[in-house]
Chains A and B, each alone.
Chain A
Amino acid sequence: MTADATRGALPGSIDDTGRLLAGQGYVADRALSTVVFLALRMGRPLLLEGEAGVGKTEVAKTLAAALGRRLIRLQCYEGLDLSAAVYEWNHAAQMIAIRLAEAAGESEKGAIAADIFSDRYLLRRPLLEALEPHAEGPPVLLVDELDRTDEAFEAFLLEVLSDHQVTIPELGTIKAAAPPIVILTSNRTREIHDALKRRCLYHWVDYPDAAREMEILRARLPDAPARLSAEVVAFVQALRKEDLFKVPGVAETLDWASALVELNAVSLDPGLVGDTLGVLLKYQDDIARTDAPRIERLIEEARQASRAAE
């Protein structure tokens, strides 16, 4: 089985899905593999919720890379509107076209209108781009941090997600021949509306357990010393059980591990942890609360846990 043969083809089973993701260095648990498999098979959008830094966005990136599809990303923000999400007219070019038509003595209003509202002056934004045909197959559409938009935009998305079409008044309805693979992510800064949830498959992405986090670290930082990796994972796992405002995600674990590798560390010590705490914790309260005695206690716990794991 060559890589080219499988490229572009959707996985045939849950196991295949897990392997597909693992091939790109994404270590998914069984629940995530299942829901990704179902979303691909059923052609339904997949809504991933979870704390920041647990790897929701990575799923879309990984899928795009593994299937050899284009990744089209729509980053959401407050005030996102159609001109930024779907399409915009190239007004400057349109103005010039009108002037030129005038200069050429064109007086037919209908012809001018038909010309300036044609494909030539259309600027495609992510959603429209995702509905257009692509040579390598339907793209992966990532609608990132959906919770940052307002309800109005969410309501607009319903049409795109269920019918795979958008309506441009001047051009008509544009419908995708082959629906894109849609991944939506949310950090739950607000609740997503039930109507949207109903159209999606839903999965809550949780922090990984120690074994899976170890696998992730191995896949991403193969050069890190084994002992350091084990201690880093055990320390972060212990830290997540502490009373913190924001516990570190997988992304922070990876950052911290690579920071420690940069510092040529082979093992954790209280001074080193204290100096690099800002990589793991992003709130001043949390950093202040994690003082020297606490760090020492956590390191001790981590050592015992990593020894027990061996």
Chain B
Amino acid sequence: MTTATAAEDGRLAENIAWFGRALRAAGLKVGPGRILDAVAAVEMAGVGAREDFYWTLHALFVSRHEDSVVFDQAFRLFWRRRAHQERLIAMLSPVAVPQREQKRESVLRRVEEALFAGVGTERQVEKPRVEVEARLSASVEDVLRTKDFAQMSAAELAEARRRIAHLRMPDDRARTRRLVPDPKGRRLDLRASLRAAVATGGDLVLLKRRGEREKPPPVVALVDISGSMADYSRPILSFLHALAARRKVSVFLFGTRLTNVTRQLARRDPDAALAAVSASARDWAGGTRIAASLRAFNVEWSRRVTAQNPVVLLFTDGLEREVDDTLPGEMARLKRSCRRLVWLNPLLRYEGFEPKAQGVAAMLPQVDEMRPVHDLKSLESLVAALSGPISRWSLPPPVRK
């Protein structure tokens, strides 16, 4: 269709605004000012050929070469038919749409809430969800802390995410090889000493020192987004987003394939970051191929992200359908390339959990530590554990009252 039909609706400006919002959700830097400019520019240029319209919007909305591809795809999808707008918004929204039948009611509700929260669509106006808000009060404080992420409503999840963002983050330190001025440092800084001595005319030589700078070791996170982990992936990604604000974090998603989402997660706004992350992985809530994913990581990414000896966080339940003999080898290689390998397993929420599944049994000997991650409390204890010294893996995990 040409844009003329859109203009006939008298809704061109509105559509451009929607388009701008969609682009923003996809990660482009589109502010309200840009949208106003775009509307003005389209009016100025006149609504003519589709190509002119394309390049006009392109000129206003795209400010980096990489964004051009995103713009192109979004443009084609958006300006085709109205029905596609909703689909596009759904695709770019911060939710891993779980497609499982059994949980339809609750999932539908959550997707709806997540998708249309604050968006102001007609659907939201029709079905306000006030009772969900009412359930969240100060009296449920502790309940929320130990409530399984899988059992939370969207409002509770939102609250959990807010709290995750305010978690005290781990405070571990690793020595780097870069030297900084340090009065207690081990090395003499002759250059600084001499400059200081010149100031006193050489009468008084105060020795200046330098020491190795310390900074938090980088974190590499491998997050399982298969069906069995679907309820946990989002809170975990929120956690990683909050962590990434403080230190270098590389994040990979894996289900049936491995996706690097480090750049997407680096967006400052948590919603935009999660939106970009879910848009970039195509295997949400599918199967798991742990060994193949680890191999992909080891071959393609390990040399590039483990050069600075990171802490590796492996988020998975270890439930692998086809366990072959390559899994221990890939785990061992992963272990060798990092300072500390921590396995975060939501299955540990079950009291009687035993590492009987083949995949779990194959992976367990290679990790330094295995911890639960199913609720806020376990995330807090993860933070505490990362701050402390390296311990051997423990089972059952340490419980802090």
Contacts and interface: CB of A to CB of B under 8 A. Distances in A.
Contacts of B179: 79, 81
A189 B299 contact: no
A190 B201 contact: no
Given A81-B179, A98-B202, A245 B298 contact: yes
A255 B178 CA distance: 36
Nearest to A147: B307
A70 B11 CA distance: 65
Contacts of A83: 191
Contacts, number: 56
Give the secondary structure class of B's interface.
Answer: helix
B194 interface: yes
B198 A116 contact: yes
A57 B18 CA distance: 50
Contact of A109 (B176, B178, B201, B298): B201
Contacts of A98: 197, 202
Interface stretch (A18-26, A86-94, A131-139, A273-281): A86-94
Interface in B169-190: 176-179, 190
Contact of A150 (B178, B190, B195, B202): B178
Given A78-B177, A79-B176, A245 B304 contact: no
Contacts of B191: 83, 88-89, 91
A120 interface: no
A170 B201 CA distance: 16
B104 interface: no
B307 A190 contact: yes
Contact of B194 (A91, A101, A187, A188): A91
Nearest to A149: B178
Contacts of B202: 98, 101-102, 112
B178 A107 contact: no
A278 B391 CA distance: 37
Contact of A189 (B197, B198, B201, B307): B307
A166 to B, nearest CB: 15
A116 B299 CA distance: 53
A81 B177 CA distance: 10
A123 to B, nearest CB: 11
Given A91-B194, A109-B198, A245-B298, A190 B178 contact: no
Interface of A: 77-79, 81, 83, 88-89, 91, 94-95, 98, 101-102, 107, 109, 112-113, 116-117, 147-148, 150, 152, 170, 187-191, 245, 285
Interface of B: 176-179, 190-191, 194-195, 197-198, 201-202, 298-299, 303-305, 307-308, 329, 333
14 contacts: A79-B176, A79-B179, A95-B194, A109-B201, A113-B198, A116-B194, A147-B307, A148-B307, A150-B176, A152-B178, A188-B303, A189-B303, A245-B299, A285-B329
